[in-house]
Amino acid sequence: MTQNFHTQVLDITTGTDEVVVDLTATCEAFLRERADGRDGLLNVFVPHATAGLAVLETGAGSDDDLLAALRQLLPADDRWLHRHGSPGHGRDHVLPALVPPHATLPVVGGRLVLGTWQSVCLVDTNGDNPHRQVRLSFLG
């Protein structure tokens, strides 16, 4: 079996508020163009020190619950040693240790395999950087 590697970089504007951005439809569109019905792996990577990726349910409050939990775990106050940027910005640099900057997902028959309620989401708590990139890579 011949394996192919395809990659694409997405430019996403997240704004200045904490946000969970659902990337599922974009990932599926990428696979329709690139997977050609093959099995393989989709890697999603955020090349930023202050953002991460999560696979979770969206639209039923779980995305807001995640942001609320992150606010409790990583408050935007002056406790952080990393102090450049807006007040509390040091917490944004700790985020990727809890919400990793990557996810590798199965692709079967050219389609992303997720659970019924799962979505692929960009998690961004850093209001100092409203522009993000996400790299999609398919190996199959």
* CATH code for position 48: 2.60.120.460
Closest C-alpha among 23, 79, 80 to residue 51:
23
Average model confidence (pLDDT) for the chain?
95
**67-118, pLDDT tens digit by residue?**
999 999 999 999 999 888 888 999 999 999 999 999 999 999 999 999 999 9
Closest C-alpha among 128, 124, 48 to residue 86:
128
Q: What integer pLDDT is reported at residue 85 of this predicted model?
A: 87
Which residues, other chains included, contact 71 with Cβ-Cβ below 8 Å and sequence gap of 6+?
18
Strand ranges, E, within the chain: 5-13, 19-22, 40-45, 51-56, 102-108, 111-112, 119-124, 131-139
Q: How many domains does the chain have?
A: 1
Instruction: Output the pTM of the full model.
Output: 0.94
For 73, the domain range is 5-139
Q: What integer pLDDT is reported at residue 2 of this predicted model?
A: 58
Exposed / middle / buried, residue 129 (Cβ in 10 Å: 0-12, 13-18, 19+): middle
Which tokens hold the place of 124? Answer: 């961004």
